Amino acid sequence: MTDHDKTKAQLIAELAELRQRVVALDAQAARSQQAEEALRQSDQRFYLHFERTPLGAIEWDLEFRVTRWNPGAERIFGHSREEALGRHASFVVPASVREHVDRIWNGLLARKSGERSTNENVTKDGQTILCEWYNTSLVDADGHVIGVASLVDDITDRIRAKEVLQKAHDQLEDKVRERTAELAIFQRFSTTVTAPRPKTSPGAVRPKRWPPRRTTQRPPPPGNRGSLAGNPREAPTPRPAAGGRRSRG
């Protein structure tokens, strides 16, 4: 094969290799477009979920300032997006729980704890509410924390309803215990009153009654009155005849 022929063969091989590279680049570009489209759709779904979720969705920077604030957070706390963006979290955290919230925040920055917490918060009009928080540390490709995302739910009404239900349950249990005690007393009294007399055997001596039963003596017949005094029976004394005198003995 001459040098001219070798050069031609090399050119054909290089062209084939370039063609393969172009095909690979086209496939890579298609995959990139697919990935970009998938990422765009994912971002759109996340945005719709972020905006429409009934929970409050908030993102914070490393300084604990608001970077994202959804309508759910506005409904819970009363602050609009414009009022909340850039503000430190202290505007929804009362002074009584700031130490607790600071411990939660430091645990999230260290990626050690704080994923879930329950604490009091304050609304725009000054009302104190009880909220449940679900927190996630946001990290970059190198694993460094770049912020925190939070979902928050106002559980004030739920806790109050639970307390009312528990109070009603306790009152019902108290009434049941009182009624059970009354029934027990009534049952003991009924058993005492209606208890049958013990049976005695034919040869057994019956206990004496106390107080003893009174006995009433019948009067003696008219012709035997002297027997009441224990005297022997005597014949009645004859009465004198009418108009006569009693004879002397």
> Does a cis peptide bond (omega within 30 degrees of 0) precede residue 240?
no
To the nearest whole number, what is the mean pLDDT of the chain?
A: 79
Tokens for 71, please give them: 């309508």
Helix (H, G, I), strand (E, B) or coil at 135: strand
How far from chain centre, in Å, is Cα 128?
A: 22
Quick one: fold of 55-154?
Beta-Lactamase (3.30.450)
pLDDT at 164: 82
What integer pLDDT is reported at residue 85 of this predicted model? 96
Encode pLDDT of 209-236 as tens digits.
Answer: 555 666 566 666 665 554 444 455 555 5
pLDDT tens string 50-100: 788 889 999 999 999 999 999 999 999 999 999 999 999 999 999 999 999
Token couple for 171: 């009152």
Rounded to an integer, what distance in angstroms lies between the CA atom of residue 121 and that of residue 56?
Answer: 13
Q: 151 and 131 in contact (C-beta within 8 Å)?
A: no
* Residue 244: pLDDT over 60: no
User: Which residue in this structure is represented by tokens 């963006």?
Assistant: 85
In this predicted structure, what is the pLDDT of residue 169?
A: 82
Confidence tier at 16 by pLDDT (50, 70, 90): confident
Q: Which of 104-108, 160-164, 166-170, 238-242 has the lowest mean pLDDT?
A: 238-242
